[in-house]
Structure 1
Amino acid sequence: MKKKIHINRLGYMTGMPKSAVCSVTAGIFYLVDAVRGVSVYAGRLSHPFYDRESGDTVRLADFSDYNVKGRYFIRAGYRRSDEFEISENPYKNIRSTILHGIYLNRCGFNFENDSFSEREDEDFMRRECHMDPIAFRSDSDATRNVSGGWHSAGCYCRNTVSACLTAADMLYALKLFRGSFPKPERVLIEDECRWGLDWLMKMQDSDGGVYSGIDARHSDTFVAPDEDNDEYFIEDKTCRAALRFTAVTALAADCFRGVDMSYAKKLRNAAEKSWLWIVQSDEYNYYTGKDGSCSESGEGAFRLESDFMWAMCEMYSLTGDDSFADMISRKYVTSVFTGFGGTQCGGYAALSYLLSEHNRDRAVEAFIRKRLTDRAERMLIAIKESGYRTARSAGGGYCYGSNADVLSDCMDFITAYLISGDQRYLSGATDQFSYIFGQNPMDIMYMTGAGEEYCRFPSHKLSISSNSDSPLPGMIVSGANGERGDEYSKWHIEKGMPPAKCYIDNEYSFSTNEPAVHFSAPVIFVSAFYDKVGRSALSGLREQG
């Protein structure tokens, strides 16, 4: 039976917003010391609110002003929550778990000979996989060595955009919150970024174009990666792949300048070569045309304005070239500066431009800041209309990858907070993060291998094929999907189920329970942010004391 009081199962940070969502009829809630069994705090629950996204009637328990470290549970009426901690850094372990999960999804890596592999990883240890040259979709007679990278999602395919997003989240975590990472952890993150970047550079053709990924012809057998005999092919080059590649290699070149100059130069050369390919593409001609809009075909559904802007902002930040500054000043009005995901990536463009050491156009900077805070304000309105405090009604609802969308909203809130200091945005970010880790209608941590109530049966070939009773840890799964986009979900999730409850923890439900490395990487960024901001809040609490 699902609990009636939904909490952030990771715990709550001292000095930060704290709340729980309660499906109860009581009017008062109590915070109870789990060790002594005594109530230490009492508060009034909010008025009952019907949440259309889940079909639940809920009340909010807010205990943000209680900051005594300890182990607690919430009691309301005859109901009580599971136990949780209030501490200075409740997210201290989640970042390393996520990073290790990304590491264990490497392709073409010999884990058996790696000193970083841990004893508990024994069930996921394997030799190199997918090392043979792979044929092209468009030319089966030609092959290319594209070993490496990460298994992007539940199968053993590898996707260029996914790798770019994964690396970008880790790089921006280091760039913005470097002090949150002890040196050993920083080295591990830099190493993981290199692993992904090295593969991305293998995906670049001699003309500068970038192949969009590696796909399988069948992908319907549950075998270990090093035993996989499926037939794979290299997907065609696309402008979106080249734009994301340009952006992340330019970002990485800037980040690695103080770490490894020769590697930074290699990354810069790759970014410049890719940009030269882009400016000769049809999409670039559409983008620079009068209407300023484009897609992969010039008429498709996926628009590339934010992709172009991110690439140009990163190239300007890296090179300081006036041609990029001029193009940004010409095109910023038609661009999106929010979103950290597969469809919209404007949030990275915003970070890149605002952090640039080169001269910034005041009009562009003001526009970006306004766009970020406008987005945050719209999300705050959406939160007020959501029983479980998500902003999904302001950003596409619950479809495939809804958890990645929630984390993107969280990063939008964080970016708005960083430029404004508005505490409401900090609270909004906390609500989104809490949703992922238990404060949701399913009362589950949408992550493998953490806590007690977590995803145990992800749609993940490596986990299914292993000898382990538990899945590979540290993976965020796709989450609630109102479209029920696979046959298993259509049969086992009742038609008409509220969208936020269209989730099933089963390996055959790939539309709700498939993990992906780019779903997981944002947690590294978000937890590093809270580590930095939490230390500041804790300092303020001590000064007050």
Structure 2
Amino acid sequence: MLKRLTMPILLIFLLSVKAHGSSTDPHAWIRINQLGYRPGTPKVAVWCGLTEEVVKEFQVVDAKSRRAVFTGKAGKAFGRYGPFAQTYRLEFSAFKRPGKYKIKAAGITSPEFEIGENVYANAADFCLRYMRQQRTGYNPFLKDSCHTQDGYVLYGKSGGIKDSTYFDVVGGWHDASDYLQYSTTSANATYHLLAAYRDFPKVFGDHKLANGLEGRNNRADVLDEAKWGLDWLLKMHPDKDIMFNQIADDRDHVGMRMPKMDDQYGRGYQRPVYFIDGEVQQRGKFRNNTKGTSSTAAKFSSAFGLGAAVFASETAYSKILSEKSATAYQYALKKPGATQTVSVKSPYIYAEDNWVDDMELAAAGARKLDESINYARQEPVTPWLGTDTASHYQWYPFINLGHYELAKQLTGKARDTIVAYYRKGIATVATKAESNAFNRGVPFIWCSNNLTVSFAIQCFWYRQLTEDWSFGALEQANFDWIFGCNPWGTSMVYGLPSWGDTPVDPHSAFTHLKNYPIDGGLVDGPVYTKIFKSLIGIQLNEADEYAAFQSDLAVYHDDYGDYSTNEPTMDGTASLIYLLAAKQGETEMTSPAPKKKD
């Protein structure tokens, strides 16, 4: 039974400064993609109400003239979802006229939105602001340096390195608005940035120098950022027999502070750097479940390989990257299996369990097609697709990048087989998504927004490989979700769009201590309520402006005290940069008649 809203919750809603909708009657809302829609894409808004109201039709209204320019049938009632008793999908894909509009249905009016070919212009570059702000070493946002004494080695015995030996591993990005640094997420982020430029070079501008300060250097800013990642990965793989997994550990989480210096590791301002040995590692009372070297080392190999191709004109640098790609691939073969991260004080780690997807991508990049095909067969569908739960980062990356890179190089039945792997995973999610008005089939596990972005990319890549628009609406729904077509009516990206409802109080020292904007950062996203209630050390610090939209299904809080839903992540943001580049960079957006699904 739908719980009746209490007066305090209604008061919170009515006093909220956030723009959840233009109606003063808080019994129903219309959710839209605040960033807008391109004329040729599927266009759907979601009507959601607290009562079982019947909605028969809706209108698209010109924002300036206030005249109805399109009328559509509301169609099927989807019923309950989250806090809502009734929901409808309001589809207006047939309406393609550029302009600014609102949607009206059953007395409720949506926020204003735009239809236009350029609604996503500059969005990918905007999100690069967050990547630059997370730089370690020299930080261009702060115009100062941090973590300049990293680091001393732990677990280096198998590499012939005595523990506490110093290696210069300064650089890279902080991981998730805290100050840990992980090779697995950084290599994946670097790969997405490189792929975004390779696939959509015209999307990106040149407004920054290589160090992130203002100026032009005749190189797209996304390449400056990708090179920042590559240069750090080179330091983390300094020799064919040496590879490091992470800098620092959860002793980082002593409290909110700015990143200039950390001294909680017992070695002055040095932080530990963990060696990849393919074995279980333990610090404090917690043990990870590392089984091999493959998952992280293969990500190194893929990033270096793509970097060598993208920077081919810089011959010496490209040669170094090519050589490192080869040695990283061999390191991945040392002990087949996944590498997990290390924690000291808490049980929370990146508990990656899969690795053949990483090997598939690395082999495809090295044009070892038979090897790549063999790895593809071992994990045809990324395991989280269609499931309701998974451990934190258990199936990482959240998309099989190897299928796309491999399929592009194949022909005939071999290619069809790999493409069918993508289709099977998408179809499994689609079956779940068809039951609700938000077309939501992605589980509300930790970092659900990262999964959402990755799934949208998989749909996009499937469409690029097949020209099949069967899942076009599902792809768009996942993209729309990130920018406001979700139960909370908020964008999940800090400051994007500038006129919309976006996070203002994320779990970040930059905002909490200094009120610095973390422009472009993608926050973790909603989690199952049962997960939220089980987490350690979460306490909301302000009244919940989204209280009316929380439910027994899932919660999202724009509150710095909630690290589970409102912490921005570096790797999620890098994936979003690829997706935004794809959405802006497509030259032909008009969808043909969808092919019939099997």
Relative distance call for 1:361 and 1:419 in structure 2 (3 A) is: closer
Aligned match for 2:422, one of 372, 376, 385? 372
Instruction: Give yes or no for contact 1:442–1:501 (8 Å, CA) kept in 2.
Output: no
The alpha carbon displacement at 1:312 in A equals 1.4
Aligned position for 1:327: 371
Residue 18 (str. 1) matches residue 43 (str. 2) = yes
Matched residue, 1:114: none
Q: 2:282 maps to which residue?
A: none
Q: Any residues of structure 2 matched to 1:257-272 within 5 Å, and which?
A: 257=312, 259-272=313-326
Going from structure 1 to structure 2, the CA distance change for 1:38 and 1:464 (only over 3 Å counts) comes to same
Deviations 1:410-469 (A, max 9, x none): 01100110011122322221110000000001111011122331111111123323244x
The aligned residue for residue 307 of structure 2 is 252
Bigger drift between 190-199 and 153-162 goes to 153-162
Distance 2:424 2:540 in 1: 40
Tell me which of 164, 171, 177 is aligned to 2:200: 177
Unmatched runs of 5 consecutive residues or more in structure 1:
112-123, 284-293, 317-323, 541-545
Structure-to-structure mapping, 1:20-419, within 5 angstroms: 20-24=45-49, 25=53, 26-52=55-81, 55-111=84-140, 124-138=141-155, 140-181=163-204, 187-216=220-249, 217-231=251-265, 232-237=271-276, 238=278, 239=293, 240-257=295-312, 259-279=313-333, 281-283=334-336, 294-296=337-339, 302-316=353-367, 324-336=368-380, 343-345=395-397, 347-356=400-409, 360=410, 362-392=412-442, 397-419=443-465
Q: Which moved more, 1:442-451 or 1:404-413?
A: 442-451
**Distance of aligned partners of 1:155 and 1:71 in 2 relative to their CA distance in 1, 3 Å threshold:** same
TM-score (norm 2): 0.77
- Letter of the aligned partner of 1:20 in structure 2? A
**Distance in 1, Cα, partners of 2:36 & 2:260:** 38
* Higher mean C-alpha deviation, range 443-452 or range 336-345: 336-345
Indicate if the aligned counterparts of 1:390 and 1:406 stay in contact, CA closer than 8 A.
no
1:457 has 2:505 as partner: yes
Secondary structure class of the residue paired with 2:502: coil
Going from structure 1 to structure 2, the CA distance change for 1:67 and 1:175 (only over 3 Å counts) comes to same
User: Hey, which of these two has a bigger chunk of helix by percent?
Assistant: 1
Percentage identity across paired residues of the two chains: 22
The residue that corresponds to 1:481 in the other structure is 527
> 3-state SS of the aligned residue for 2:100?
strand
Mapped partners of 2:553, 2:457: distance in 1 = 21
Paired amino acid for 2:36? G
**Which piece of structure 1 moves more, 202-211 or 152-161?**
202-211
SS in 1 for 2:115: strand
Q: How does 1:484-495 map to 2 (within 5 A)?
A: 484=532, 486-487=535-536, 489=538
Equivalent pair of 1:51/1:387 in contact (CA under 8 Å): no
Q: CA–CA distance in 2 between the matches of 1:301 and 1:159?
A: 12
Cα RMSD between the aligned structures?
2.7
Kindly provide the amino acid, as one letter, of the partner of residue 102 in structure 1.
Answer: M
Instruction: Report the number of matched residues.
Output: 496
Q: State the Cα deviation string for residues 352-385 of structure 1 (Å, max 9, x = none).
A: 21334xxx47543221011112222223322212
Secondary structure of the equivalent of 1:282? Answer: coil
- Equivalent positions of 1:437-456 (< 5 A) are 437-450=483-496, 451-456=499-504
In 1: Cα distance, 2:113 partner to 2:136 partner: 36
Query: 2 CA distance for matches of 1:66 and 1:433?
Result: 19
For residues 226 and 126 of structure 1, do their structure 2 counterparts lie closer, same or farther at Cα, with a shift above 3 Å needed? farther
- Aligned-partner residue type, residue 332 of structure 2: I
Structure 2 CA distance for aligned equivalents of residues 344 and 472 of structure 1? 25
Contact 1:441/1:501, CA 8 A, preserved across alignment: no
Show CA shifts across 1:269-328 (max 9, x none): 11111122222x232xxxxxxxxxx4449xx97122212212211222xxxxxxx33323
Tell me how far 1:252 sits from its aligned partner.
1.4
Change (3 A) 1:499 1:201: farther
- List per-residue Cα deviations over 1:47-74 (Å, max 9, x = no partner): 2213445555210111111111111111
Distance 1:252 1:154 in 2: 26
Kindly provide the CA deviation profile for residues 238-276 of structure 1, in whole angstroms up to 9, marking residues without a partner as x: 51221111111112112221x312111111111111122
1:332 partner letter: A
Query: In structure 1, how many angstroms separate the alpha carbons of the residues matched to 2:591 and 2:299?
Result: 39
SS in 2 for 1:365: helix
Deviation at 1:333, TM superposition (A): 1.9
Instruction: Say whether the 8 Å CA contact 1:209–1:278 is kept in structure 2.
Output: no
Q: Which is further off, 237-246 or 376-385?
A: 376-385
Structure 2 vs 1, CA of residues 60 and 380 (structure 1 numbering), >3 Å: closer, same or farther?
same
Preserved CA contact (<8 Å) 1:208 1:275? no
Q: What secondary structure sits across from 2:491 in the alignment?
A: coil
SS state of the match for residue 417, structure 2? helix
Q: Distance in 2 between the 1:459 and 1:342 partners? A: 23
Task: Tell me which moved more, 413-422 or 138-147.
Answer: 138-147
**8 Å contact kept, 1:180–1:531:** yes
In the alignment, what sits opposite 1:421? 467
The answer to whether the 8 A contact 1:404-1:519 is kept is yes
Distance 2:479 2:406 in 1: 26
Cα shift at 1:129: 0.5
Instruction: Letter of the 1:45 partner, please give it.
Output: A
1:133 partner amino acid:
D
- Tell me by how many angstroms 1:347 deviates: 2.6
Deviations 1:25-51 (A, max 9, x none): 332111111111111111111222134
Asked if structure 1 preserves the Cα contact closer than 8 Å seen for 2:102 and 2:109, the reply is yes
Q: Structure 2 vs 1, CA of residues 499 and 177 (structure 1 numbering), >3 Å: closer, same or farther?
A: farther
Q: Contact (CA 8 Å) 1:481, 1:499: kept in 2 or not? A: no
Aligned AA (2:274): E
> Which residue identity is paired with 2:583?
Y
Q: What residue ranges of structure 2 are gaps of 5+ in the alignment?
A: 1-12, 14-19, 22-28, 156-161, 209-218, 266-270, 279-292, 341-350, 386-392, 593-598
1:54·1:501 contact (CA, 8 Å) conserved in 2? no
Q: Which amino acid aligns with 2:434?
A: K
